[in-house]
Amino acid sequence: MVSTDAKMLYGLLSDRIHFSAKNGWADKQGRVYQFSTVKEAQKILHFWHEKICKLFSELEQADICV
């Protein structure tokens, strides 16, 4: 089970990946990419650095990386 905070981070990342796709940001294999920093996530979600890192780890462990 993924925490509510991790779901919020996932939603933020998911929204950004859709924006990237819309703008044609893809590599030669057609994989869409995005640039998202911990600081940006901190600013938007109002979480401290360690919390954001923990949430990224939580998404990765749940195999829900974006």
Q: Give this prediction's pTM.
A: 0.81
Return the amino acid letter for 34. Q
What span, in angstroms and rounded, lies between the C-alpha atoms of 64 and 42?
19
The pLDDT assigned to 66 comes to 55
Q: What is the mean pLDDT of residues 43-54?
A: 97
Contact partners, residue 2, CB within 8 Å, separation at least 6: 10, 58, 59, 62, 64
- Do the Cβ atoms of 12 and 41 come closer than 8 Å? yes
The pLDDT assigned to 4 comes to 97
* Segment (H or E) for 16: helix 4-22
Q: Token pair for residue 20?
A: 């990237």
